Amino acid sequence: MQDKNKATKKKISFFGTMKAVFWSFIGLGKGKQSVNDGENFNPLHVVIAGVLGALILIAVLIVIVKIVLSKVVI
């Protein structure tokens, strides 16, 4: 019966995967629900979402550093 339920579960969309990866980047999750969702992720979506998340994080950090350094008087 459990195998049948697992087979009929729908894979999570790319947007849903991005949302889960975002929450994992900041260290927040929904506990039990995130464990259940993890079984339905498409591994390719997780890799792409992780790379995109890392690139966005790096870009944000670079912008913050440039803003801070532009206000420093040398």
Token output for 42 = 């498409």
Q: pLDDT for 50-67, tens place per residue?
A: 899 889 989 999 999 999
Exposed, middle or buried by CB within 10 Å (0-12, 13-18, 19+), for 22? middle
- C-alpha–C-alpha distance, residues 33 and 36, integer Å: 5
User: pTM of the entire structure?
Assistant: 0.65
Q: How confident is the model at residue 30 (pLDDT cuts 50, 70, 90)?
A: low
**CB distance 53 to 21 below 8 Å:** yes
**Residue extents of the structural domains in the chain:** 2-70
Question: From the CA atom positions of the chain, what is the Rg in Å?
Answer: 18
